[in-house]
Structure 1
């Protein structure tokens, strides 16, 4: 008999973790600036995540081996016993780690999925290219191909995408990547899963602590967005003196819309100027749901996936369901009648006629469609709710000198990320990767640490986007080529006070970008 308590007293199997997992930063000496600068500390966090990934892989290997020894090939898919071999195996994990039986079974399921369906993904977890959170997302999004002939191809294609990126993945972009790959290999399974999910929509409540309860419902993504907008509109109908927080008003608004009761402003003032709709009626509001798809999918000529802004990849069937709604409005990025160029591309105006700073309607829509989400890593803000930002700053005094309004110099940023750059010392770059042709971003911290952006955008889902070009007005193009009124490229001389503070900041950022461009060119040699 081996008492479990003995294992808690055994020395750590990792008494001296290598620098690959710690970044060379010693936790007992991080207070010494000589031992660890700002970039060293950030690098130490990144290395720690790699170590956690390795330990997660280690756990999955052990869990899979437990299953092999205790269950092996004796498990039958038609076994209806509550206590079967799988449950018995999971019980050991449950009791030893003090987690629920359900959580232990999920760990075993992920371990088997990595072993049997996603062995190459498992290797990327081992070397720290992805996190355990990413693995959970990949396993869940590829469940449809379990046992299918295309499973190995899905594993291969996902890993090919993972290997294109040296940084962390945002979970919403990782999910979009997995969904488009699965749809490409097995669209029928995706469509059937969507039908089953739609049939299984439901409503339920769950009691929580302190006399409260949680109300939940599952519904189609478009209905959820409409419901969210209705709740938001009613919650913001109160005056500014209402003492409730926005979340509290949203909760009360949800109850009002469900029951038809009265929603009131609680400011208590006789001269309250709030306009509250009548009970049982939703507030007057326009709900816009952005659905992106290629023309062939909309007409039914093709069976490609689409995308709902803020939600993710959807099937071609769901695209056509949305198009068939009586309130649907279809707006192509390329207007009807636009002539095709000899190479099969289309050229559209980049800016508004009277303002070279403002993007044209076509360019504004194109950038939001292309980015899908905010380009700031980890920010799930939909590109349609984000700010469009000039990557290289626009020079309002000399429009031909600063960063111009083009598709390659615009991207979508969540409001906080936009403000961080505008009022801080952060620098970002956007460029075409010469090796893959993909649009990439890099973010440079005030200390000079270069952080790669997400590699996934909607160009991979909608390759027709690459056939659209944008034309900069001729006068601006000529001024830019002449290098009017801008800091010399590669100059390390700080700007003099003859420049404004804004101009000086722009010049410094331009120098930073030039250094990074030279670095990328040298790395590509």
Structure 2
């Protein structure tokens, strides 16, 4: 395949590595430019859940074929390179540093004051190429050393154990119990559902994040309690009067009948965890309640109301399995059933309903320029503000052909033009913007770093006082 010498192979490898890094830099520059163009017209949505970042992430995730969360992360990286670290961005586009280096630089300089970030950007850009061979810990040390020179309070602070709690497979820290292991997928699904149920028993004013509530739910789960104590501090907390009704966790598995009766070894599917081997499906079936999926007729009638019936909702969720937005794999259990043509202009019907996760549902509904079209077999065609179109098949129908059904072509009239009503008024709001959240976090962390610096200075002063020699004593006799 390669008619080259060993030396040329090594040379070509280096050239390709540099071109790969440069391509990443150019791509991030394009992401930053798109956000700069979209944000002015979407700035009014900054306090909305579906803000400019969410809209741009929804637009770039299909072309990158990545999740919404990764798209949001790339937007943050692109904005930072464009506005705070342009010299580092220039080095990336030239290929002399790679994305690992850039990601570390962004993470370690995020708390640096805007007044000095330009000088620090220039200093780091001049040295970054020499740091390419350093390990990640050594690279962090070098960057922190330069941050200290320009802005000592901007050095990142290691998160406090109590504030960084979450339920994941991670090493434990002092004062916190770590949970680790490798368990069966069906057991993991049951555990996740139970933790979610306990975490949901507090009121909406509980100050903890969802991850922190899930971590705290391990205590009630281990003690066999039905609720998680709310921390809102209110005497009339509504959660205090409510209790979970059941301690039973229910999981759902999709499988073919031939797998259950042993005539085939086609795998099943466990929502949120993926493919489940046939033997695991049959083992679960021995104690499970078996319910066939109700398949709609080719000429299925439309349903009268906005909310789909239990049978239609069940079919749509099993047909889709995940959010239908290109690049998004959020499970249907955490998604909404959306009318492709908005109700009441589009009916509640299997050919006009599909699953979108909450953020993509909001983006499609409230952010201008997005439109979708659903085919009778469930395929979805999404159009973005740039004019690009993406077609996506329903995941469940791809894995299980019985769910790939033509549910009928709908003759839908064109919807009326938008009225003068401000639809954004109905969009869910944030407590504060993403930028305000970021500034609050930076302020808190800089205060923590300032306290650490002050404590270190006090310790050095105390040590100096204890080690300095005593002042010389004058032993001459007093004068007469």
Structure-2-length-normalised TM-score? 0.49
Structure with greater helix share of residues: 2
Higher relative contact order (CA 8 A, sep 6+): 2
Structure-1-length-normalised TM-score? 0.45
Rg: which structure is higher? Answer: 2
